[in-house]
Amino acid sequence: MPRREVYEQRDNEIEEEFAHHNLERDMKDAYEASTRTGTGEHVRRLRAENRAILWTILVLVGGLCLALFVF
């Protein structure tokens, strides 16, 4: 009769195989998601956010320069 350790070792090997398979699947899904191009609406929203951030930075820097120039 095989010892209990043999069964436990076999179970661990099976769990490792499942984990490896799931990891490969997850990595494949992540790669596909990262290379997918955005929709037109998504791209427009990102560009609008970038413009808003740029204007905010410009206003803050301009205000700081004005404050330093005045005082």
Cα–Cα dist 24/30, whole Å: 10
pLDDT value of position 19: 85
For the segment 28-46, what is each residue's pLDDT rounded down to a tens digit? Answer: 988 988 887 778 888 899 9
pLDDT at residue 4, as a whole number:
65
Q: What Cα–Cα distance (Å) separates residue 18 from each residue in 7, 8, 11, 21, 25?
A: 17, 15, 11, 5, 11
Model-level pTM? 0.47
Q: Residue 2, SS3?
A: coil
Residue 15: what pLDDT? 84
Domain boundaries, the chain: 4-70
Alpha carbons 9 and 13: distance in angstroms, whole number: 6
pLDDT above 60: residue 1:
no
pLDDT at 48 over 80: yes
